[in-house]
Amino acid sequence: MATDYASKVFGKIDAECHLGQELHIMTSEAFNTRVLGIRMYRIMPSASGHIGYTRQGFMLKRDEISTLRDFLTEAMVNESLWEDEGDGMVLIKEESEGEIPDDG
């Protein structure tokens, strides 16, 4: 018996760093509540011929979405994290190995 998660995709991003895949942003019924799902969707067949959702992805509750939004906004506006490579690509600087960013 299939479970109906009542998923609603409300955004798709063509992920340039993941050729042949899109990033889908959706809401679904899970964990006894409505959650935000962020999933990779394969638009080009894999070596085995698979098209559709990959195992990559995660679900977030509303308070977790707020925290994610804050971190993404901070990363986006913090010029010290980004380097201009001159070819239209922007790379985020890597943290030192084993170093966890300080949140304050």
pTM of the predicted model, to two decimals?
0.69
Query: What confidence score (pLDDT) does residue 56 get?
Result: 83
Angle at 25 between CA 84 and CA 101, to 5 degrees: 50
Taking CA atoms, 23 is separated from 9, 31, 52, 70, 71, in Å, by 10, 22, 11, 20, 18
Q: Would you say residue 20 has pLDDT above 80?
A: yes
Give residue 13's pLDDT.
Answer: 93
In the chain, % of residues over pLDDT 70: 77
Q: Please give the mean pLDDT across all residues of the chain.
A: 83
Q: What is the pLDDT of residue 93?
A: 57
In this structure, are strands 8-14 and 21-30 parallel, antiparallel, or unpaired? antiparallel
Domains of the chain: 8-92 (2.30.31.10)
CA angle centred on 54, ends 53 and 56, rounded to 5°: 120
H/E segment holding residue 67: helix 62-77
Give the pLDDT band of residue 22 (cuts 50, 70, 90): very high
For the segment 66-90, the average pLDDT, to the nearest whole number, is: 80
- Decide which of 46 and 5 is more confident: 46
Residue 85's alpha-carbon distances to 23, 78, 100, in angstroms, are 24, 17, 25
Q: What is the mean pLDDT of residues 43-62?
A: 92
> pLDDT value at position 100?
53
